[in-house]
Amino acid sequence: MLLKDLFERLEELYPEMVRVRRELHMNPELSFQEKHTPEFIAAYQRELGLEVQTGVGGNGVVAKIEGGKPGKTIAFRADFDALPINEENDVPYRSKVPGVMHACGHDAHTAIVLGLSKALMDVKDQLEGNVVFIHQHAEELNPGGAKAMIEDGCLEGVDCIYALHMENYFPIGKIIYSNDYILAASDEFEIEVIGRGGHGAFPHDTVDPIVITSQLVCNLQQIVSRRVDPMHSAVLSVGSFHAGKAHNVIPDKAVLKGTIRTFDSEVRDLMERELERITSHTCQAAGAKYEFHYERGYPATRNHLEETQLLVESAKEVVPVEDIVSIPPNMGGEDFSYFLEKVPGSYFFIGSANEEKGFVYPYHHPKFDIDEQALLIGAKTYAAVAMRYLMKNPR
């Protein structure tokens, strides 16, 4: 009966969740530059009567509901930073900030958690345990906000944690999960190849960094195809190649930038090691020097089986069982992985696409938008997870 009451309350709160999501959408803030957003979140949670901490790990906000009965503590993470993208949607709630937009659904994640907070406060005295809401800044930009928030104590007393993400690769009404890895570790590299420039008409007097770096791009692809066990996964992608400015001048330097995605820690180590080895040998063979920079980003996001199965059972309260979809891992990255390294939990997706309404663009696209019914599905799923977890694990 309690869950039914929560669902009814969330349906009443749905217009407010939409309003909150649109307010945040119109006022996006970049990673590590968030000011208005955490202030808005903290004010909302305080008005509801939650215990609120601000400035957690930087710009993070943590709010807590203490239930009327003893029990365990479940946490829900909602990120709230935006992206440096100029919005192209023609909607009343279009971003008011030139060059910045919520193109990844973080506005929706926050609205879901705030709606859930309000609904749970109505049944606070009946809760067998506590609920913590971790409003995280700077998910989009390494080193991210999660690690700093954890170091600042946001997981103190937390027994398990969940996070959801809008997903326009699936239609509205779907809930998508994975029992193990769901997202990859995300690293980046920069290689500067240092040659000797000169006139384009006299290449024999130069050490041409463009030719050497072009060869390097090809050589690097052999790491995945010939050095990584084919039973494991890895991606190496070069995303930037810059050299020279004139048509008839061979430059002194060329710069490569790229990303590496892996799941297994040993493969991650191998990729870094082989990347520099091949760079060194390629440059040495051509008489060039190099500078090598490798930065480790977020670790792989690996769900915990028991908590994921609890999610699946809870999702059955929200959508038909055939709309709960198990997926293989993908090569995206998320700093929610840091939370899952500390406490058990699960990260999952909520289908948010609607072809009839034109909500078909993927995240990080200037026309990204969602079917806002995903807010209600996400909030109900969280509510079902909270009730199932707290009632299953009384102290």
Which is it for the CA torsion 256, 260, 265, 266, positive or negative? negative
Residue 308: which of 376, 378, 389, 379 has the closest Cα? 389
Q: How far apart are the first and last CA of the chain?
A: 22
Instruction: List the one residue out of 157, 160, 191 whose CA is nearest residue 345.
Output: 160
Q: Using alpha carbons only, how large is the chain's radius of gyration in Å?
A: 24
Where b means 16+ CB within 10 Å and e means fewer, 307-326 reads bbebbbebbebbbeeebbbe
- Tokens (6 digits) for 206: 């130069």
* 237-258 confidence digits (pLDDT tens): 999 999 999 999 999 999 999 9
Mean pLDDT of 198-215: 98
- pLDDT tens digits, one per residue of 26-82: 999 999 999 999 999 999 999 999 999 999 999 999 999 999 999 999 999 999 999
395 pLDDT band (50/70/90 cuts)?
very low
Give the end of a domain, one of 295, 315, 333. Answer: 295
CATH of the domain at 46: 3.40.630.10
Q: What confidence tens digit (pLDDT) does each residue in 311-338 have?
A: 999 999 999 999 999 999 999 999 999 9
The pLDDT value given to residue 392: 63
* 101 and 241 inside one domain: no
Calpha distance 150→162 (Å, rounded): 15
For residue 18, pLDDT over 60 is answered with: yes
What's the mean pLDDT in 233-238? Answer: 97
Residues 346 and 204 in one domain: no
**From the DSSP assignment, how many helices (H) and strands (E) are in the chain?**
9, 16
Q: Which one of the listed residues 79, 81, 140, 371 is annotated catalytic?
A: 81
155 and 194 housed in the same domain: no
Peptide bond just before 28 cis, omega within 30 deg:
no
Question: What's the CATH code of the domain at 218?
Answer: 3.30.70.360
**pLDDT, tens digit, 9 for 90 and up, residues 264-277:** 999 999 999 999 99
Q: Pairing between strand 324-326 and 175-177?
A: parallel
Could you give phi then psi for residue 372, rounded to 5 degrees? -70, -5
Report how many domains make up the chain: 2
- Which DSSP helix (H) or strand (E) runs through 86? none
> Do 78 and 207 share a domain, yes or no?
no
| CA distances in angstroms from 143 to 75, 154, 259, 294, listed in the order given | 22, 17, 15, 14
- Given this model, what pLDDT does residue 391 score? 82
The reply to whether 81 belongs to the active site is: yes
- Based on the fold, state whether residues 151 and 15 are members of the same structural domain: yes
User: What is d(CA 35, CA 336) in angstroms, rounded to the nearest whole number?
Assistant: 21
Cα–Cα dist 338/153, whole Å: 13
DSSP E strands, the chain: 51-56, 60-66, 69-79, 128-136, 160-171, 175-177, 181-183, 185-194, 198-199, 234-242, 249-250, 253-262, 289-295, 301-302, 324-326, 345-353
Residue 250, classed as helix, strand or coil, is: strand
C-alpha to C-alpha distance for 55 and 45, rounded to whole angstroms: 15
295, 315, 330 — which closes off a domain?
295
- In this structure, the answer to whether residues 112 and 160 fall within a common structural domain is yes
Angstrom distance (rounded) from CA 360 to CA 256: 32
Range of the domain at 101: 2-182+301-392
Residue 261, beta-bridge partner list = 186, 235
Kindly state the tokens that stand for 232: 């494991």
Quick one: pLDDT band at residue 220, thresholds 50, 70, 90?
Answer: very high
Say whether pLDDT at 211 is over 50. Answer: yes
Residues 45 and 87 in one domain: yes
Specify whether 273 is located in the same domain as 353: no
Instruction: Find the catalytic residue in 34, 79, 139, 335.
Output: 139
Share of the chain above pLDDT 90, in %: 98
CA dihedral (357, 362, 366, 370) in degrees, to 10, reads 40
Are 67 and 112 in the same domain? yes
What Cα–Cα distance (Å) separates residue 188 from each residue in 124, 138, 212, 221, 335? 45, 17, 21, 15, 15
Reported as a single tens digit per residue, the pLDDT across 340-356 is: 999 999 999 999 999 99
**Which of the listed residues 259, 276, 295 is the one where a domain comes to its end?**
295
Confidence of residue 394 (pLDDT cuts 50, 70, 90): very low
Same domain for 173 and 206: no
Q: In terms of Cα–Cα distance, which of 143, 188, 142, 183 is closest to 301?
A: 183
Tokens encoding 151: 């170091």
Which amino acid type is present at position 302?
Answer: R
pLDDT at 1 over 80: no
Strands 160-171 and 345-353: parallel
Q: Is the pTM here over 0.85, yes or no? A: yes
Which residues, in sequence order, are CB contacts of 301 under 8 Å at separation 6+? Answer: 181, 182, 183, 184, 333, 334, 336, 337, 340, 347
Is 372 one of the catalytic residues?
Answer: no
Same domain membership, residue 174 and residue 198? no
170 and 290 belong to one structural domain: no
